[in-house]
A and B are shown apart, each in its own frame.
Chain A
Amino acid sequence: MISALIGLPLAGATILLLGGRRTNAWGHYLAVLMSASSFFVGVSLFSKMLGLEGEERALHQHLFDWIAVGTFNVPFALHLDQLSIAFVLLITGVGTLIHVYSIGYMEHDENRRKFFAYLNLFVAAMLLLVLANNYLLLYVGWEGVGLASYLLISFWQHKPSAAVAGKKAFVVNRVGDVGLSIAVMLMFVTFGSVTFEGVAEAATKADQQTVTWIGLALLLAACGKSAQFPLQSWLLDAMEGPTPVSALIHAATMVTAGVYLIVRAHAIFDLSETARTAVVVIGAITLLLGAYIGTAKDDIKKGLAGSTMSQIGYMILAAGLGPVGYVFAIFHLLTHGMFKAGLFLGAGSVMHGMHDDVNMRHYGALRGFMKVTYVTFGLGFLAIIGIPPFAGFWSKDEIIHAAFGQSTVIGLATLIGAGVTAFYMTRMMTMTFFGEARWEDGVHPHESSNVMTIPMIVLAFGSVFGGLLMLFVGDIEHWLEPVVGFAKPEHHVSNTTLIPITLAVVLAGASYAWFKYGRRPVPVVAPTEVSLLTRAARADAYGDALNEAVFMRPGQHLTRSLTFFDAKGIDGVVNGLAAGIGGLSARTRKTQTGYARNYAAYMLGGAALIAFILYLVRL
């Protein structure tokens, strides 16, 4: 039953890729069907789980022995528990909605079938990632989603920028994968096992330092996949992909895999204060960095990408708080999955109406022309900035609350982040839907078709009620507790003081943006006379410049000089040796003239030499 979750979308991808053009006509329907069936399987497993007691809810399916050499024994086995079912529902639920949306969005693309095949492939790989019962099988899903991400970012391969962005995402992610590899290797030599269960059981017996190293290696992996500092640079470029891809992979699901990894490996992080601190610091840096980058972007998708970095920063930070934060990291991941997917689909709908222009300076006043998009995007906006009772309020407030419980500095970082989030989201909202129309010539904005707006409406329901439902009906804290544990923060800061403060900060950020962009006309061309801070934010805080200076350019030099060294140095020696032997034999050959007088002379010379030596020896 669990394997069907993965098998259905995998079958869809296989049929569409191998079937070729024959499946063009109905391929997208098949992909939607496969994703939806997987969702229904997930729902039925979920309802079955609801009928059981906490400890008995986990299901296990051993398929076969995957790799067995010596004591290295890795099963191909799946594990479904309260944590993974939450992901299954998010992946297949949001995934199916985005499949439906894409029917409209990709309608005129000649490679639509391939697009749907890759989407199905992504869903299958992502499900494997969250259903694997061990770290090595998780790795297969982990790079599987990376492959799907690569294929979809560079889906419009004829655009060099898209091809480069796809490659960049894969390569940067591979740096993270080095971390995952090292973690798995350390687990094997330390615990003799790489299954979640085996590692969790043996973790307490290992020495502190090893556990810390495993935690740090896992954090490196999470940084790659979840675009956390210092491996964040690929995510902004990933917006080259079609917008549904940005919504599903680069907002709602794949990029949150790092959070899943850390929460899933809680047995490791529970034991290492150092590793947890590192996680919190990375999360705090990224949540501020992403929000900061988001403030200066005119490209609506890049603005949202900066926001995604920032929101995942919140989740990573929460995961680093340990049992106090695990459940809220997942809670925020789930609410974010809904409202951020909704925001991206809204952005896609706007782009659809604006001739694929992504520059918000060319938008404005769209609220009257795209009513559904305006309302759904607006609800997502309220959710992300954390206005009660919308989804993001509940989950973000819990994180801020837990962060203050841990340390004031970390708490302040989350609080400032909330203010900046309100600023850049209000800026986006006003530049797009309010103010005066700054449209390019020939652009006639119009609402998108039903096949696109209906998924947006469904996700908007999530933005409104998702948080409330999960917190009060689903009781998410106690739902996840048997898997990840749950604790109240040590230093309790009263929510009655914190909530008004947070709301005040959020309103301050939002009003400042409204004052700056809503009350004054927005220039169609981005002003160039701006502060250094704005310039740095526009340049993604110089992340790429740093990568290029530290890795790319020295790497290119190294490659070039090694190529030269190989041809002239090593091969030069080899060829020089051959030439030397050849030259030597050519010269000695000259002595073989065939003339008797020459040979007689050599004999005379030789005899004289011997006589001379004998003479010397006798002396």
Chain B
Amino acid sequence: MLLTNLMALPLIGAAVVFALPIGRELLAKQIALVVSLATAFGAIYLGLNMSTTDGGLQYVESYQWIPAFGINWSVGVDGISAVLIVMATILVPLVMIAGWNDVENIGQGTVKGYFSLFLVLETFMVGVFAATDLFLFYVFFEAMLIPVYFLIGRFGGPQRAYAAMKFLLYSLVGGLFMLASLIGLYVASGKELGNGTFDFTALAGLNMDPATQKILFLGFFFAFAVKAPMVPFHTWLPDAAAQATPATSTLLVGVLDKVGTFGMIRYLLPIFPDASKYYAPVIIVLAVISIFYGALLAIGQTDLLRLVAFSSVSHFGFIVMGIFVMTSQGLSGSSLYMVNHGFSTGALFIVVGFLMTRRGSKYIADFGGVNKVAPVLAGVVLLAGLSSLALPGMSSFVSEFLVLVGTFAYSKTTAVIATFGIVLAAVYILWMYQRTMTGEPSNEVKETVKEISARELAAVTPLIALIIALGFVPQVALNIINPAVEQVQQYVDVQDEPAAVEGAKA
């Protein structure tokens, strides 16, 4: 019951918060924070109790939902979904602390609306990673759009309506293709098993003919590629991220986008193994393009939020590449990358938010010299940035290197090209830091930019602590990710290549 409870808790919390009368803003925030903290602790408990040897689904629950179509409320987690749930639920209370005064600052919408939307979103986030029935996954996949649509559309910047609509339409189109493939998959499973099913384990065990796989694969892939987002389906992300509050952007980029890459590793590879192998070379090329395209665009941005969004396009390129090379280092690296990217991009969005609330601008040109007036704030910006450029000693280095080494075993040329992405990452981060934090502060900066507050520190310190801790002990996560990755490799029927030198010892 743990997983269902993890979903029920924030939903009940959302209802309570929403039912509060106007005028009880502080209470609404406090309840929302306590509920999200409780959910996070529940998820951490779940993560700590995952098996380090069993790569199958754990904490499994299944109840009949629509028997006529074989649809069940089935949930369960393997190591990959478990670490993502832990990451997502840790982010929620932190973005609440970071966005504590968002509504007051924006001057529109209600506090209880804002915080209850976060809680509703949290329920769906846990659900989308925990679902083991494909129809249930689809429901969560689409349902997540609703709270985010309102979070952008109600609480966003001047162009929020445009950004929210673009985000919604883009995702809906992707979802539509997935729905078509989903129905096709149901029919295909019916042909083979007699009864159609949406059950993940049953679908992963099918022996679909490669031609059918290749068609059905595309529908899912399109939906996931939009979500992830991969070039050229990415243009909704910078708009959405630039208009939403940084708290929303953190969850949007840190968690929601992961549904795309999670879907690839959880559904595409095991259910369509032949199609995955068939399309892998093309997808890997697209991923490498994303790495460089995202990084170059990040260098070219004048808006801090768009810069972070484009850096994520580059990071997602690494994640997708690691998945489709299908080596254990690539797959485990990508799974860990999803977690690390959540923390590190979250930290970046949150600190950019701190800068924005002070200066009233998200444009790089309006800053400069912040280090002189607010050294601790500048230090936090630097740490978040270093994590984004994957500095060794931080968690993002471990995952990025695993992805690269996993890719290297698949194709040396691809890995060597992708490695040059680390130079561009240094450019977009350090140039941003140079333009915003160094130099002599302007009068506006001197007047408006105050040192980081205790509340703000409380929001980012846990993230930075996690980033550094996971840089040295990534095994905490890898120990439960590895068996799940082995399981995925078994589904696809791939093995790692042994070292070139015979009898080399590990």
Contacts and interface: CB of A to CB of B under 8 A. Distances in A.
Interface of A: 17, 20, 64-73, 76, 114, 136, 139-140, 142-144, 147, 150, 154, 157-158, 160, 162-164, 166-167, 170-171, 174-175, 177-178, 181-182, 184-186, 188-193, 198, 201-202, 205-207, 210, 555, 558-560, 562-563, 566, 570-571, 574, 578
Contacts of B170: 574
Contact of B301 (A20, A139, A563): A563
A71 B438 contact: no
A71 B405 contact: no
Interface string B415-436: 1100110110011001101100
B401 A198 contact: no
Contacts of A167: 430-431, 433-434
A349 to B, nearest CB: 28
Contacts of A67: 398, 402, 474-475, 478
B300 A68 contact: no
A532 B379 CA distance: 45
B72 interface: no
Interface stretch (B62-70, B138-146, B342-350, B385-393): B385-393
A198 B392 contact: no
B47 interface: no
Interface residues of B, number: 72
Given A184-B405, A574-B170, 16 more contacts: A67-B474, A67-B478, A69-B328, A70-B327, A136-B401, A150-B430, A181-B419, A185-B415, A189-B405, A189-B499, A190-B501, A192-B499, A205-B501, A562-B297, A578-B166, A578-B169
A160 B506 contact: no
Contacts of A563: 297, 300-301
B393 A174 contact: no
B319 to A, nearest CB: 15
21 contacts: A67-B474, A68-B475, A69-B328, A70-B329, A70-B332, A71-B496, A144-B392, A157-B371, A158-B371, A158-B438, A158-B440, A171-B430, A177-B422, A178-B422, A181-B401, A186-B412, A190-B500, A190-B504, A191-B504, A192-B499, A206-B500
| 5 A-B pairs closest in CB distance | A192-B499, A70-B328, A163-B438, A563-B300, A192-B504
A174 B295 CA distance: 15
A553 B393 CA distance: 32
Contact of B498 (A73, A170, A192): A192
A162 B332 CA distance: 40
Contacts of B440: 158
A163 B434 CA distance: 6
A178 B423 CA distance: 8
B339 interface: no
B499 A171 contact: no
B422 A198 contact: no
Contact of A193 (B473, B482, B485, B506): B506
Contacts of B504: 190-193, 198, 202, 205
Contacts of A578: 166, 169
Given A174-B422, A192-B504, A193-B506, A71 B371 contact: no
A201 to B, nearest CB: 7
Contacts of B98: none
Nearest to B486: A70
Contacts of B391: 143, 147
B333 interface: yes
B44 interface: no
Nearest to A164: B434
Q: Pick from A17, A157, A571 the residue with the most CB of B within 10 Å.
A: A157
A160 B439 CA distance: 5
A574 B333 CA distance: 33
Given A562-B293, A563-B297, A154 B438 contact: yes
B405 A562 contact: no
Nearest to A188: B405
Given A170-B426, A182-B419, A184-B405, A192 B506 contact: yes
A201 B499 CA distance: 14
A66 B408 contact: no
Contacts of A136: 401
B409 interface: yes
Contact of B505 (A20, A177, A185, A198): A198
B299 interface: yes
Contacts of B503: 205
A35 to B, nearest CB: 20
Contact of A206 (B232, B236, B434, B501): B501
A198 B501 CA distance: 11
Nearest to A167: B430
Nearest to B333: A69
Q: Pick from A72, A162, A558, A571 the residue with the most CB of B within 10 Å.
A: A72
B372 A158 contact: yes
Contacts, number: 182
Nearest to A213: B412
Given A198-B505, A570-B235, A157 B437 contact: yes
B156 interface: no
Nearest to B410: A189
B426 to A, nearest CB: 5
Contacts of A65: 475
Given A70-B328, A139-B392, A210 B500 contact: yes
Contacts of B474: 66-67
Given A175-B423, A178-B419, A71 B506 contact: yes
A69 B422 contact: no
Contact of B404 (A69, A181, A191): A181
Contacts of A177: 422
Contact of B405 (A72, A158, A555): A72
Contacts of A73: 506
A178 B420 contact: yes
A140 B393 contact: yes
Nearest to B420: A178
Interface in B436-462: 437-440
B505 A192 contact: yes
Given A171-B423, A559-B299, A189 B408 contact: yes
B45 interface: no
Interface in B343-401: 369, 371-372, 375-376, 379, 386, 391-393, 397-398, 401
Q: Pick from A68, A69, A163, A192 the residue with the most CB of B within 10 Å.
A: A69
A301 to B, nearest CB: 21
B278 interface: no
Contacts of B376: 20
A71 B232 CA distance: 35
A573 to B, nearest CB: 8
A113 to B, nearest CB: 11
A558 B423 CA distance: 15
B426 A71 contact: no
Interface in B290-327: 293, 296-297, 299-301, 327
B384 to A, nearest CB: 14
Contacts of B505: 192-193, 198, 201-202
Given A157-B439, A160-B439, A566 B423 contact: no
Contact of B438 (A157, A171, A207): A157
B506 A174 contact: no
B472 to A, nearest CB: 7
B393 A144 contact: yes
Contacts of A191: 499-501, 504
Nearest to B481: A69
A158 B369 contact: yes
Contact of A64 (B297, B426, B439, B473): B473
Nearest to A181: B419
B497 A189 contact: yes
A354 B231 CA distance: 57
Given A70-B329, A558-B296, A185 B408 contact: yes
B502 A205 contact: yes
Contacts of A139: 392
A161 B272 CA distance: 55
A202 B504 CA distance: 6
